[in-house]
Amino acid sequence: MGDVIDAEIPQAGGTFAGEEPRKRPKVFVHWSRPKSNLYEYNYDYGSNYYRSMIDYLDQRAKGGRPAAPKPESWEERALKSYLERSRRTASLKHNRDTELLQSIRSSSSHYIAHTKTYARKVTVGF
């Protein structure tokens, strides 16, 4: 009545006795998110968004009683960031332009000097 059947009992790890453990495929769980970039335009716009409040708080911390800043519209903030950026790039552009012109002048004079030297060497050899 009570026949006992020898059943294989799973070992730790989910395998049966005498059976090799299954190799699971390697799955990379963690996704490395690419670094985000904060572009200069976005930084300027964000800093102009809070600039009036920061200036207000700085003046209050120094003991002054400045007037509370008024909320600005999107257009006003965008115009401020555009004007500040154009002032910065104008001075940078001027410096870059003068550096470029100087390097062109020096490279052309360098080229002329070496071509004259080369021409002398070639004509002397004949």
pLDDT for 31: 73
Whether 123 is covered by a domain: the verdict is no
Share of the chain above pLDDT 70, in %: 77
Q: How confident is the model at residue 111 (pLDDT cuts 50, 70, 90)?
A: confident
pLDDT tens digits along 84-97: 888 877 766 667 77
Whether 89 is covered by a domain: the verdict is yes
Q: How confident is the model at residue 9 (pLDDT cuts 50, 70, 90)?
A: low
pTM of the model: 0.39
Q: Which two tokens stand for residue 121?
A: 């060497």
126: pLDDT strictly greater than 70: no
d(CA 41, CA 52): 18
* Count of C-beta atoms within a 10 Å radius of residue 48: 19
pLDDT tens digits along 15-62: 566 667 777 777 767 777 777 777 777 787 788 888 888 989 999 999
Domain that holds residue 107: 40-114
DSSP 6-18: -PPPP-TTS--TT
Whether 71 is covered by a domain: the verdict is yes
Whether 125 is covered by a domain: the verdict is no
Count: domains in the chain: 1
Q: What is the DSSP letter of 14?
A: S
Q: Which two tokens stand for residue 42?
A: 């976005």
Whether 11 is covered by a domain: the verdict is no
Whether 64 is covered by a domain: the verdict is yes
Whether 48 is covered by a domain: the verdict is yes
Share of the chain above pLDDT 90, in %: 6
Whether 34 is covered by a domain: the verdict is no
